[in-house]
Amino acid sequence: MSHLLSVADLGVQGIEEILRLTDSFVEVTERAIPKVPALRGKTVVSLFYEDSTRTRLSFETAAKRLGADTMTFSVGTSSVKKGESLRDTVQTIEAMGVDAIVVRHASAGVPWQIARWASSVIVNAGDGWHEHPTQALLDCYTIRQRLGSLQGRRIAIVGDIKHSRVARSDVLAFTMLGAEVVLVAPPTLLPPSLEGWPVTVEHDLDQTLSKVDVVYLLRMQLERQREALLPSLREYTARYGLTPRRAEHLGPDAIVMHPGPMNRGVEIAAEVADLPNAVMVDQVRNGVAVRMAVLFQLLGSGTQLEGVDRG
């Protein structure tokens, strides 16, 4: 693996390898000093053209825990504001001597474009509506941790699927690992065509909840919606929000997931987000170990570490 651009490129084997490696890094993150020198001397830069809290901090924490140096590029305070092109920005960053560029951009395909120009390793941290591979990996890891395996599990992804890169990467990863995925959304929030998507569709959340092992809620991506796709957020919540009453339909072992940022009171009620079977905090915690595994896999070739088994 020379870059991480898409879940599709990884294949089942690639996903399994990273999840195995993640086990070792979970162990590292639980140590009193949660650091290993695996990437000492390497530099990882985050190039974020879109807002982010957890993904950027998670990659930076992961890089630091592997002993790498980090640089952060925030578009709002950069020369992009002065009209610098993406290509010139990438060239400038590379000239400083970096080993990996973690990129998030509002346009689909930008990480692939950068991979053609750059000689560093590129990691896709979210491109438009398209893909968010490390989110899918940490979601798979979290489901396994709670439920043992994804094989034969039923997973409902609920909400603004049309605009969600998380949904696209998750559908690929979950089904590759043997889960069945059902999408639950109003027709206006589904992609115009689901041809080739290995999923079924339901419009009634109440009926679906009692039959699933995982309910995965998505934020309404209002910043990407160009037209009125819903009568109102209140009506959305009334039919598709995970309210305390609806959450009672869930089986005792079923888990509730969300990639964050949550809009409490819209797609998920505040009380439901704090239930013991809501695993959002685990998702964030596992995200650091998964990203350590990804960076180690991409940059740590030849590095042998005691207690870190490449699987």
What does the chain look like in DSSP terms, one character per residue?
A: ---B--HHHHHHHHHHHHHHHHHHHHHHHTSSS----TTTT-EEEEEESS--SHHHHHHHHHHHHTT-EEEEEEGGGSGGGGT--HHHHHHHHHHT--SEEEEEESSTTHHHHHHHH-SSEEEEEEETTTB-HHHHHHHHHHHHHHHS--TT-EEEEES--TT-HHHHHHHHHHHHTT-EEEEE--GGGS-S--TT--EEEES-HHHHHTT-SEEEE----GGG--S--SS-HHHHHHHHSB-HHHHTTS-TT-EEE--S---BTTTB-HHHHTSTTB-HHHHHHHHHHHHHHHHHHHH-TT--BTTB---
Closest to ligand NCD by CB, 70 vs 283, is: 283
Interface mask (CB under 6 A) for ligand NCD, residues 210-249, using x and -?
Answer: ---------x------------------------------
208 lies in the site for ligand NCD, by CB under 6 A = no
Per-residue contact string for residues 126-165; x = within reach of ligand NCD by CB under 6 A: x-----x--x-----------------------------x
- Closest CB to ligand NCD: residue number: 219
Q: Using the rule CB under 6 A, is 259 a contact of ligand NCD?
A: yes
Q: Which of 54, 144, 168, 291 binds ligand NCD (CB under 6 A)?
A: 54
The least CB distance from residue 122 to ligand NCD, in Å, is 17
Least Cβ distance, residue 260 to ligand NCD (angstroms): 5
Least CB distance to ligand NCD at residue 107 (A): 14
Residues that bind ligand NCD (CB under 6 A): 54-55, 126, 132, 135, 165-166, 219, 259-260
